[in-house]
Amino acid sequence: MNLVNRVMEWSQRGSNREVSIAYVAAAVLFLAGSAFIRGFFGWGHVLAIVSTAGFVGIVGIGQTFTLITGGIDLSVAYMLNFGALLVTGISLGSSHHLAPALMVVAVVAAVAGLVNGVGITILKIPPLIMTLSMNSILEGVALLYSNGTPTGAAPPLLTALATGTGPLSLPWMVWFWAVVSAFVLILFRKTVFGRWTYASGSAPRASWLSGVPVERVVILVYIISALAAALAGLLLAGYSGQAYFGMGDTYQLESVAVAVIGGTSILGGRGSYLGTVAGALILTTLTSLLQVLNVGASMESMLYGVVIIVMMMLNRERQA
């Protein structure tokens, strides 16, 4: 009883409200789907939704925290794609070459994120312009690297991670996402760096005056965003067994959508990765519903647009 009360109390507090509503919405959406569509309900389908949500959820890490710093990262699409191209191109389908491939991907992502961060903080280029330009640059570099035709294949280890089943008959992807989420939540809730991230987003000047290294914090957030996008690229390469051009295109908008659905403010300073996880579950459940209804990719694209605008309107009311 005490626990229930504490949960209720927690869910009423400030931004936790939006997060709680998002989880309830995810559950309601799933149950609604189950009520109307035969075969939608089931533990297997829940696991499938959660593991699929992991991909956009991991891209959403970067989007959540760049939004919290008052920026946005529109370079995730080709960061993801380039990460996938690199890992298949270097490892050539062999798990023995996975380690060097991972190192190359990590270094490339870190450099891209660093350039984003430096451009935004030191060169004062608006985040929108900087990351949109970076997206185009990464697309060009990826095309030059693969000469337009991706080669190689995903190492079996990555495929196992993205599609295999682990302990407790849960997919490895669910385990992996849970571990990553826990790490992200600890990093941004329990460390000084996490505090600084929120501070830099809600009041940059005041934070700087009180000794927060705002520029370094923002640069680090963009590096984390690039690393997260590249990680999602590795997993997606493992999932489809290969890399291809355009595999990251939808993730640019989806990652913004999951963050906004989860209650992250596009004005900066407010938001939580817990909300983004709920946002990823909602969006994936919706996509899954649409796939069952067989409306096609064009309708999904339209729906993402509507969902983002509706969520912004709803969150707006709460801000006022």
Partner 1 sequence: MRRSTPKEAIPLRTFRWLRNEYLIYPILVALLVAYLILNGGFLSVFQIQSLITSTAPLILVGLGEAVVIISGGIDLSIGYMVSLTCVVVATSSPVLGTPLALAVGVVAGAVNGTLITRFRLSALVTTLATGSFFLGMALHILPTPGGVVPEWVSTVADGNMGPVPVAAILLAAVVAILGFILYRVPAGRYLFAVGDNLEGARQSGVVDAPIRIGAYAVAGLLAAVAGIFLAGQTSSGDPNIGTPFTLNAIVIAVLGGTSLAGGVGTVGGVVAAAFVLSVVSDIIFLTNASSYLQYIVSGGILVVVLGIGQGVRWIRRPTGQPSREKVADR
Footprint of partner 1 (CB under 8 A): 69-72, 119-130, 132-141, 143-144, 148, 200-201, 204-205, 208, 213-215, 218, 253, 256-257, 260, 266-268, 296-306, 308-309, 312-313, 316
95 or 133, CB closer to partner 1? 133
CB of 270 to partner 1, least distance (A): 14
Name 131's Cβ contacts closer than 8 Å, sequence gap at least 6. 71, 72, 73, 74, 75, 116
CB of 120 to partner 1, least distance (A): 6
CB of 137 to partner 1, least distance (A): 4
Token digits of residue 59: 């891209």
41 or 193, CB closer to partner 1? 193
176 or 196, CB closer to partner 1? 196
107 or 129, CB closer to partner 1? 129
Spacing of C-alpha 8 from chain mean position:
28
48 or 143, CB closer to partner 1? 143
Show contacts of 207-215: CB within 8 Å, 24+ apart.
214/121, 215/121, 215/122
CB of 1 to partner 1, least distance (A): 42
DSSP 69: T
Cβ atoms within 10 Å, residue 122: 11
CB of 174 to partner 1, least distance (A): 28
Spacing of C-alpha 178 from chain mean position:
13
Distance CA 46, CA 212 (A): 42
